[in-house]
Amino acid sequence: MKAERRSFLKKVGVGAAALTAGLASKAVPAFAKKTIRWKMVTTWPPHFPVLGEGADLFAKWVDEMSGGRLKITVYGGGELVPPLGVFDAVSQGTVQMGHGAAYYWAGKSPATQFFAAVPFGFNAQSMNAWILNGGGMKLWEEVYAPFNVKPFLAGNTGVQMGGWFNKEIKSINDIKGLKMRIPGLGGKVIAKAGGNAVLVAGGEIYTNLDRGVIDATEWVGPYHDLKMGFYKAAKYYYYPGWHEPGTALEAIVNKKAWESLPKDLQAIVDAAAYKSNMWMISEFESKNNAALVELIEKHHVKLRQFPESVLKSLKKLSKEVLDDLAAKDPMSKKVYEHFKKFQKNIYAWNKLTEEQYQKFKYL
């Protein structure tokens, strides 16, 4: 009887193993075992602090979550394509992915700028709310669709600084004739104020500022600006960043490449973008103030606040720029109207909550 029982248990064990193997085989289709290799090009210098690191981490997280089934090789600006050639490379399918900021592609469609930063617009929290839960993503996808590109929210700088200047800004007249590196809608506001807005990739800013090719520059905030060494080339550091109160960064994917991915890998890419978005704003928020203290105490940077009269003038000019844009471009008008409606809605809530809390938050 014992021999028969052992034989029976052995047969059951073999059968169970075979069944498990069969189920596993059916659960994991053949294509799921295949390693897919993508290239991601970025507008940032290779492994650039926070921004480039965000792209590197995105690729790392996708690799880990997919068990190595989707491997993304990241190329810094200029390594495979020029920094400002990222959108074209993804659109044309030269590479599968890109990482940058939507306002760099204003030449493709003016409406792209709304998905990076709007002067006196959304901060990071409100931008997340608009894009992820307020209907902004649907509009963003509509803007990018003609270019065969799918966008993902993949980072945010938070409220930026106003920039580095080699002269004090005491009135709006001090903007006239100023050559300033400033992209997007903020650049159009500076131009409307009589300045000259210049678009320069991140890796070229310091050299241009140091050599006098530009008189001023904005970039991000203290943590970055310290590393970039701008304090060596400019005297005055201004705040607040009226032009970029919560700049969103993006990961973009070629539509054909996206549609070729199995659903689970699509979900992993989406999850990695969400993680990148939270990681980046957290990294900036955690390190900016310590860097600002170092800039002031060690490098003797002259910190200045834009006069209220200057900010009021810039806000008025910002509205004129946005109204002009909406009047000339139907897609921009559609996005702008949606943006304004959501801003009115969320500001009413923020005024009741965040704004009131700011007055009494410190114990």
Amino acid at 329: D
Alpha-carbon span 39 to 248, nearest angstrom: 22
Would the pTM of this model clear 0.85, i.e. be above it?
yes
Categorise residue 358: left if φ over 0, alpha if ψ from -120 to 50, beta otherwise.
Answer: alpha
Chain CA centroid to CA 250, Å? 4
- pLDDT tens per residue, the chain (363 residues)? 545 545 544 554 544 444 444 444 445 454 557 899 999 999 999 999 999 999 999 999 999 999 999 999 999 999 999 999 999 999 999 999 999 999 999 999 999 999 999 999 999 999 999 999 999 999 999 999 999 999 999 999 999 999 999 999 999 999 999 999 998 899 999 999 999 999 887 778 999 999 999 999 999 999 999 999 999 999 999 999 999 999 999 999 999 999 999 999 999 999 999 999 999 999 999 999 999 999 999 999 999 999 999 999 999 999 999 999 999 999 999 999 999 999 999 999 888 998 888 888 766
Alpha-carbon span 248 to 244, nearest angstrom: 9
pLDDT of residue 21: 46
Tens of pLDDT, residue by residue over 186-199, are 999 999 999 999 98
Look at residues 180, 176, 177 and name the one whose alpha carbon lies nearest to residue 219. Answer: 180
Look at residues 56, 29, 32 and name the one whose alpha carbon lies nearest to residue 42. Answer: 56
Mean residue pLDDT across the chain: 91
Q: Which residues contact 296 (CB under 8 A, 6 or more apart)?
A: 303
DSSP 227-281: HHTGGGT-SEEEE--TT-SS-EEEEEEEHHHHHHS-HHHHHHHHHHHHHHHHHHH
Look at residues 100, 184, 220, 186 and name the one whose alpha carbon lies nearest to residue 149. Answer: 100
314, 100 Cβ separation under 8 angstroms = no
Amino acid at 208: N
Which domains does the chain carry? 33-157+246-285 (3.40.190.170), 163-243+287-355 (3.40.190.10)
The two tokens of residue 285 are: 């928020």
DSSP H helices in 44-198: 51-65, 86-91, 124-128, 136-144, 184-192
Q: What is the per-residue burial (b if ≥16 Cβ within 10 Å, else e) of 166-199?
A: eeebeebebbeebbbbbbbbbbbbbbbbebbbbe
Query: How many other β-carbons are positioned within 10 Å of the β-carbon of residue 300?
Result: 9
Tell me how long the chain is: 363
Strands of 149-156's sheet in order across: 70-75, 36-42, 97-100, 248-254, 149-156
pLDDT of residue 10: 52
pLDDT of residue 220: 94
